[in-house]
Chains A and B, each alone.
Chain A
Amino acid sequence: MINIPDFANASAVQIIFCVLAFITLLTAFLTIYSRNPIHSAIYLVICFFSIAGHYFLLNAQFLAIVHIIVYSGAIMILFLFTIMLMNLNEKKEVHRPRITRLGAIVSFVLISLILIAIFINSKPIVGEYTSTGEDYQSIKVLGKVLLNEYMVPFEFASVLLLVAMIGSVLLSKKEKLEK
């Protein structure tokens, strides 16, 4: 079951979690809801920062830093530059017919209900969380895991990024008109 921490004697971590979760959900919703794409991008940046805050809360420092650099840095700059290139106005977007929007809302509610109903009855197998005090997510350990066991996927990720770079340059190059 959901055990919502009671605010009367909540610890600092619980309060931080609740505030971060609220910010995450609110900004994710506002990303979708706001008309202006630039506002959406700004809300998405806030959403990504709060998710990085969740990573910090879970003590995954390396991922939090990489998340801020990759998502809030690189990906959002790409989004903002694309929006700027397209020069989108909010008036340009015609809204979907009402039946489609209604269908979207109904399916959103149904998916949330089904997923929450699935997970509300799932009991954790491991039982109580026990911390063994073992270091498993510092940058040192992660680097060893990444470069020993996951060496080949790591190299393939670099190939993937190279291919993505060349592909995006090729795709967005202006085509010459053949006559």
Chain B
Amino acid sequence: MNNILNQIGIENYIFLSVILFCIGVFGVLYRRNAIIVFMSIEIMLNAVSLLFVAFSTYHQDAEGQVFVFFSMAVAAAEVAVGLAILVSIFRNVGSITIDNLKNLKG
């Protein structure tokens, strides 16, 4: 298992995570449902951490994985707070389509 990058190549991991990140961007732009937008943000985060792990293997350094660990903690906190905000928005407004939330538009 220790010559995995010889067999697959770091480029394929780069392209995989690039396409995954672009799918996340597409989801943020395409959907109106705020929960799906959140899921797309999670997909983008995962694409980046996949690249972190691949390069951590490439450089044989544990620090990339430590960084992914911290970003997972931050993602968990972010999802908890974000979903709480969504629930309270749903309670006040009645829907979570993001086009309705333009009170700050002026």
Most interface-central of B15, B75, B80 (chain A CB within 10 A)? B80
B43 CB to nearest chain A CB (Å) = 5
A68 to B79, CA, bound (A): 16
User: Chain A: how many interface residues by the 8 Å CB criterion?
Assistant: 89
B1/A119 in contact, CB under 8 A: no
B42 adjacent to A75 (CB under 8 Å):
yes
The answer to whether A129 touches B6 (Cβ under 8 A) is yes
Interface residues of B in 24-43 (CB under 8 A from A): 24-27, 29-33, 35-36, 38-40, 42-43
Question: Interface size on B (CB < 8 Å)?
Answer: 76
> Which residues from A are CB-within-8-Å of B69?
63, 66, 142, 146
Does B95 lie within 8 Å of A59, measured CB to CB? no
Question: B4 and A57: CB pair below 8 A?
Answer: yes
* Contact across chains for B39 and A62 when beta carbons are under 8 A apart: no
**Of A11, A14, A126, which one neighbours B58 at CB under 8 angstroms?**
A126
Additional pairs, 18, CB under 8 Å, beyond known A78-B80, A112-B18? A28-B20, A28-B23, A37-B33, A54-B53, A59-B2, A63-B65, A63-B68, A75-B79, A95-B32, A100-B29, A101-B30, A105-B26, A108-B29, A116-B18, A136-B61, A160-B73, A164-B80, A164-B81
Chain B residues at the A interface, C-beta cutoff of 8 Å: 1-12, 14-16, 18-27, 29-33, 35-36, 38-40, 42-43, 46, 50, 53-54, 56-63, 65-66, 68-70, 72-81, 83-88, 90-91, 95-97, 99
